A and B are shown apart, each in its own frame.
Chain A
Amino acid sequence: SQQGEEDPQALSIQEGENATMNCSYKTSINNLQWYRQNSGRGLVHLILIRSNEREKHSGRLRVTLDTSKKSSSLLITASRAADTASYFCATDAPLNTDKLIFGTGTRLQVFP
């Protein structure tokens, strides 16, 4: 079963607006990652946050992690049309950190 569930499933915004995606997971984790997938392409790693971190930034990306609620959020600020993609959270699997378990993704559409 999926470890991570993203919310919302789909999000449409205008360029310049901020986009927030949420991820919930079920079991304790060592780290949580966010990946982006452009249509017809493979996934690309965006950012990793460890279980002892609460917030992390990378350019226009801001990730938060709340281990007490087993949830994470990805904020993309000042979105651009090029941010249009699907975004997935991934957590390390229980008892086996060699494996990742991916959520079902949020499809983001940014209109120019």
Chain B
Amino acid sequence: DAGITQSPRHKVTETGTPVTLRCHQTENHRYMYWYRQDPGHGLRLIHYSYGVKDTDKGEVSDGYSVSRSKTEDFLLTLESATSSQTSVYFCAIRDGLAGNLQETQYFGPGTRLLVL
């Protein structure tokens, strides 16, 4: 899966607790993305990063924060989890350099999060 791992793969937590999901890549790609996938909504972008310490919001960023202190890791934090954040979370990476594959995103295996 293009050198992308996500941890944990499954998590159950309680409302109000903080949760951090990790995405790790070995491809040295510049761009990293966090999406959530819910039935009837497809994939929606939460946040993305275009370099170390450079991040920007997606369409569903409320309640989430991210950090990227090094190229290979992109962390997604739910400061105080709510039941509406129960979802499957996917990380993706993109090279972004010139060439035919610069727009292609490569996805991790996903993290299933259940907030009770």
Task: List residues of A whose CB falls within 8 A of some B CB.
Answer: 2, 31, 33, 40-45, 48, 88, 92, 97-105
Contact = CB atoms under 8 A, between A and B. Distances in A.
B109 to A, nearest CB: 5
B45 A103 contact: no
B42 A42 contact: no
Interface string B22-46: 0000000001010100001111110
A44 B103 contact: no
A106 to B, nearest CB: 11
A98 B42 contact: no
Contacts of A105: 42
Contact of B58 (A40, A41, A99): A99
Contacts of A103: 42
Given A98-B31, A99-B58, A104-B41, A41 B110 contact: yes
21 contacts: A2-B42, A33-B104, A41-B110, A42-B1, A42-B90, A42-B109, A43-B43, A48-B103, A88-B42, A92-B103, A97-B103, A98-B31, A98-B48, A98-B56, A98-B96, A99-B45, A99-B48, A99-B58, A101-B45, A102-B42, A104-B42
A42 B48 contact: no
Interface of B: 1, 4, 31, 33, 35, 40-45, 48, 50, 56, 58-59, 90, 92, 96, 100, 103-110
B45 A42 contact: no
Contacts of A42: 1, 4, 90, 92, 107-110
Contacts of A102: 35, 42-44
A7 B49 CA distance: 31
B103 A33 contact: yes
Contacts of B103: 31, 33, 48, 92, 97
Contacts of A100: 45, 105
A45 B104 contact: yes
B42 A41 contact: no
A40 B1 CA distance: 13
Nearest to B45: A99
A43 B90 contact: yes
